[in-house]
Structure 1
Amino acid sequence: MAANLVASLFVFPLLQCIAAGLRITEVEVPRYLMVGQKATLRCQLALEGEVLYSLKWWKDGKQFYQYIPLNKPPAVVFTVPGITINPARSGLHEVELLDVQSSSTGNYRCEVVAEGPTFNTHVMSANMTIVDTTDTKPRVTGLEASYRDGETISLNCTSLRSRPPSTLTWSNNGQKIAKEHLVSYPSATSEDDPTTTTLGLVLTAHASLFTDGTLDLRCSATVHAYEWSTDVSLHLDNVTYSQPHHLPTLQQTDAATTYMSPCVLTLFLSLLTLCLCRRT
């Protein structure tokens, strides 16, 4: 019991000392950005009676910015791949990055150090991911002009060259289509190269799927917080086909009934000539 009491008496002032020292209260780093955008990094401090000696920013363990209030000039920029600093918008509390690229993705750490004799040091970090896609909307292929009842509907949705790879979904009226109707295709995923992904859809055309003869589908490509979608409308062929019309059967004539033999013809002409002679 006495030992626990002594430990408590020792730890409590130590915690008070740590809490009262220089510390970072918040680090603000954009979670997701598109290639080419700007990023503002913020490091909020609480001096707690101490004097700041330096503030430093690191990306994946490499220092790219330093601010020492007593130095002239106080700010120093270091070369790190994926980092382009805007000096006009950078200071003690924030740093602005210009034209972020895929190489800007990483872990960003703010480090503050107090003046002596304490030289208290505190760090806090956050991650930033840069989304790189050259095709803002997914492409839908395989669409027919119309479908008949019972026919197979086979469509493909493709998201081109995205880093990180996009996640594709098919939906109808806001409801995701069940997995048994989807066809997944393998895609070569590379950490350095953008990836193309494709998701197929196979349905059987039935009147129950179509509203007023139309089926509206949406393919969505999602990369973290960003989403792009393409809408397509399918049409059901509702033409009613009548029974086939049969042409009337042509009456066949017997060649024997229409053929007059030479003998009969000669006899007929002889009688006709005799009748004419008697009249004259």
Structure 2
Amino acid sequence: MDTTLLATTLLLLPCLHAVAAGLRITKVEVPRYLIVGKQATLRCHLALEGDVLYSLKWWKDGKQFYQYIPQNNPPNVVFTVPGITVNPQHAELNEVELVDVQTTSTGQYKCEVVAEGPTFNTDVMAANMTILDTPDEPPRITGLEPNYRDGETIALNCTSSRSRPPAALTWAINGRQVGPEHLLTYPVVSEGKPPLHTSTLGLSLTARPHLFAGGTLDLRCSATLHEYVWRSDVTATLDNVTYSQPHHLPTLSKTNGSSGQGVSLSLLLLLTMMMLMMTVKATALAPLSHSPLLT
């Protein structure tokens, strides 16, 4: 190693040690996901290690919204930033509470600390927070029939409405997730400003007895927004009706076999009786003949 470089390194070692041993951030706590309207507590944990804190600042996407300087009176100051509402009753050195978070509150949150002189050590640590606008209701299942016959198609749709980001949908049959070969995807529909999204996922199955354990088929649709999950469950029944061959009335042309002979004989007797009855009826209605009067 070059003697000049070695000498420079040896001179810098005490300074590097002082920086490493000075003020630093040990941890930043920011909710990873949060629902619209909720509160978010931001925490910035410090280790002074011989330094004296001069200031602590919070930034969102490069814009400062909070400052804490211990020697000032008051020590804390709030700055206006879109999507940020600080609770003044809960704004301290290590914790800052945001209230009524909105989707515009989504972004990167950075804690910055600076030590007093002579070190003026500075440290920064950041974390992301995503605000979710969740559906107002569980996913809706449409197309379900009360029962199905063997071989019929089960065609259903599951829809999760008005969320940001769009909900991820899955289908499960009897507790087991359905593979892509039975799924039909639809484009996400967006409306409003800022937009809310509606997701739909179709399911197509052929009704078979092995799917209907105990005569029923349990179907579940799940809508997921990151760590939040909504579910809807439905049940279908397999129709146990059996089919028989259609029955046809016998005809006179069927004469082969004993059954056909019996039918022909019965019809012949019936026709004979009808002809006799018609003859008797005609005789009864005929006018009586009159004998000539005696003179």
What TM-score results when the alignment is normalised by the length of structure 2?
A: 0.83
* Displacement after TM superposition at 1:8 (Å): 4.8
Does residue 211 of structure 1 match 2:213? yes
What TM-score results when the alignment is normalised by the length of structure 1?
A: 0.87
Counterpart for residue 193 of structure 1:
195
Distance 2:196 2:165 in 1: 7
* Displacement after TM superposition at 1:117 (Å): 2.6
The 3 A distance-change label for structure 1 pair 13 and 208 is same
Residues 85-124 of structure 1: per-residue CA shift (max 9 Å, x gap):
1111110000011111111111000011111232221110
Q: What are the within-5 Å matches in structure 2 for residues 88-103 of structure 1?
A: 88-103=89-104
Q: Unpaired runs of 5+ in structure 1? A: none
Distance 2:134 2:286 in 1: 100
The 3 A distance-change label for structure 1 pair 129 and 266 is closer
Counterpart for residue 130 of structure 2:
129
Counterpart for residue 148 of structure 2:
147
* Displacement after TM superposition at 1:243 (Å): 5.2
- Which shows bigger deviation, 92-101 or 182-191? 182-191
CA contact (8 A) 1:133 1:160 kept: no
Q: Unpaired runs of 5+ in structure 2? A: 252-265
* Displacement after TM superposition at 1:159 (Å): 0.7
State the identity as a percent: 63
Counterpart for residue 239 of structure 1:
241
CA contact (8 A) 2:174 2:217 kept: no
CA contact (8 A) 2:135 2:160 kept: no
Q: What are the within-5 Å matches in structure 2 for residues 1-280 of structure 1?
A: 1-3=1-3, 5-6=6-7, 8-10=9-11, 12-188=13-189, 192-242=194-244, 244=246, 253=271, 269-270=288-289
Tell me the matched-pair count. 272
* SS, match of residue 238 in structure 1: coil
Letter of the aligned partner of 1:194 in structure 2? L
Residues 196-218 of structure 1: per-residue CA shift (max 9 Å, x gap):
00000000001011101111011
RMSD over aligned Cα atoms = 2.8
Residues 15-57 of structure 1: per-residue CA shift (max 9 Å, x gap):
3122111111110000011111111000001111111111110
Distance 1:194 1:41 in 2: 27
* Displacement after TM superposition at 1:233 (Å): 0.7
Distance 1:19 1:35 in 2: 40
Letter of the aligned partner of 2:214 in structure 1? D
Letter of the aligned partner of 2:206 in structure 1? T
Residues 134-163 of structure 1: per-residue CA shift (max 9 Å, x gap):
323111111111111110000000110110
Distance 1:20 1:173 in 2: 58
Counterpart for residue 254 of structure 2:
none
Distance 1:236 1:15 in 2: 75
